[in-house]
Amino acid sequence: MSGGFSAERSQAIRDGLVRLAAARPARRRRWWRAIGLVALGVVAGATGAAFAAGLMPGGPPSSDPSAAAPALPSADADGFAAAPAGVEPGTPIVSLLGTPTSTLVTSRTTIDMSKRPDAATHARVTVICDSAGEVSWGTDPGGNNPTSVCSDTDVQTARGGVWFDFALDAHTDTLYVAPSDGMRATLTIQYLAEVPTRLGVNENGQTYGIDGGPQGAPDLILVAGTNPDGEPVSGYARATDLDAFSPDHAGQPANPDQAVRWQAERDTKYPHGWNIPIFASNGTTVIGTFHIG
């Protein structure tokens, strides 16, 4: 596999990242951060457009499960690499290891992940719904895992596929899967070697890039919106703007009564949501707006 980055490939990856950011309603942003952005990465040697669209990376991985990881960018003492040119800061660089394996699940089950390549740092688990229903899947034996819900329409239109990269350590060797009654799903596991890239830092000392990485949320988070001419634009929204309950309340409610009151105020004043500015990476130049609601 090649670790090179062409301009076309880098743009395809960036376009896919911002499409994902734009596709998630802001009021679900915390789940979006967990499911969407942690899973994002640049695949060394894979097709950028396919990966950026949230699909399994193109190009066959090694057929030898014990194969060493392809060359990855050099990490510093803290385990981070500098983002290559054209790659959004905070995006992990990913290499595929071994051959993906698939399991059809029809009832509560566990899948062994102990026999994996030594270089594996993550397991990418892809879930395809074969019938309507709900399935939780993850590495927490207590059940605090991602959940996928698929309708008949999702299944018929092949929209039931989601994926997530689970971090691996010496104590993580089992995938726990719990479908609802009568639900069928196919889970595919692909092992990965990931090297996280550092967030960017602008001239004002603000961090910028992709949310969800080991460095936490940057001050400026990559989003997609519209420019003053109504055309698509990608840039950065302030994390504080994204986390605000409303334009009138920068924080979150302190108690249930306050939440009900703030919600009523927000629904009355902003029934169609509100816009926040999108900046260039310098955090001062406004290039568009991002709609919340």
Which among 6, 179, 202, 166 has a CA at the least distance from the CA of 89? Answer: 202
**Average pLDDT, stretch 122-149?**
94
Distance CA 13, CA 51 (A): 7
Tell which of 161, 195, 229 closes a domain: 195
Residue 89 and residue 228 in one domain? no
How far is Cα 252 from Cα 270, in angstroms, rounded to an integer? 17
Q: Where are the beta strands (DSSP E) in the chain?
A: 42-43, 93-105, 109-112, 122-129, 133-138, 147-150, 161-167, 174-179, 185-195, 200-201, 207-209, 220-226, 232-238, 274-279, 286-292
Residue 59 and residue 143 share a domain: yes
pLDDT value of position 159: 65
Q: Same structural domain for residues 256 and 124?
A: no
| For residues 132-137, average pLDDT | 95
pLDDT of residue 206: 98
**pTM score:** 0.62
| 21 contacts 224 by C-beta, under 8 angstroms | yes
pLDDT tens sequence across 156-172: 887 658 899 999 999 99
- 181 and 223 fall within a common domain: no
Query: Are 243 and 191 members of one domain?
Result: no
- 265 phi and psi, to 5 degrees? -65, -45
151 and 104 in one domain? yes
Tell me, yes or no, whether 153 lies in a domain. Answer: yes
Indicate the average pLDDT of the chain: 79
Phi-psi region of 127 (alpha: psi -120 to 50; beta: other; left: phi over 0): beta
Instruction: Tell me which residue range forms the domain holding 170.
Output: 7-195
User: CB-side exposure of 183: number of CA atoms within 13 Å?
Assistant: 26
pLDDT at position 71 is: 57
Q: Are residues 20 and 164 in the same domain?
A: yes
CA-based nearest residue to 17, from 47, 42, 46, 45: 42
**According to the model, what pLDDT value does residue 238 have?**
98
CB contact at 8 A, 99 and 65: yes
What does the pLDDT average to over 12-19?
Answer: 42
Structurally, how many domains does the chain consist of? 2
Distance CA 17, CA 239 (A): 17
pLDDT above 60 for 31: no
What is the per-residue pLDDT for 18? 42
> In terms of domains, do 84 and 164 share one?
yes
pLDDT tens-place string over residues 184-198: 999 999 999 988 899
Q: How confident is the model at residue 248 (pLDDT cuts 50, 70, 90)?
A: very high
| Mean pLDDT for the stretch of residues 260-286 | 97
- % residues pLDDT > 70 (the chain): 74
Question: Residues 72, 170: one domain?
Answer: yes
For the ranges 213-217, 239-243, 288-292, which has the lowest average pLDDT? 213-217
What 8-state DSSP symbol labels residue 247? T
In a shared domain, residues 141 and 12 = yes
Question: SS3 helix, strand, coil % of the chain, rounded to 5?
Answer: 20, 35, 45
Question: What value does the mean pLDDT take over residues 44-64?
Answer: 31
Q: How far apart are CA 210 and CA 92, in angstroms?
A: 10
Residue type, 110: T
Strands of 231-285, DSSP E: 232-238, 274-279
Q: In the prediction, which pLDDT does 84 show?
A: 86
Q: What is the mean pLDDT of the segment spanning 225-234?
A: 96
- Of 46 and 40, the one with more pLDDT: 40
pLDDT tens for 68-126 read 444 566 777 778 888 888 889 999 888 999 999 999 999 999 999 999 999 999 999 99
Asked if residue 129 is part of any domain, the answer here is yes
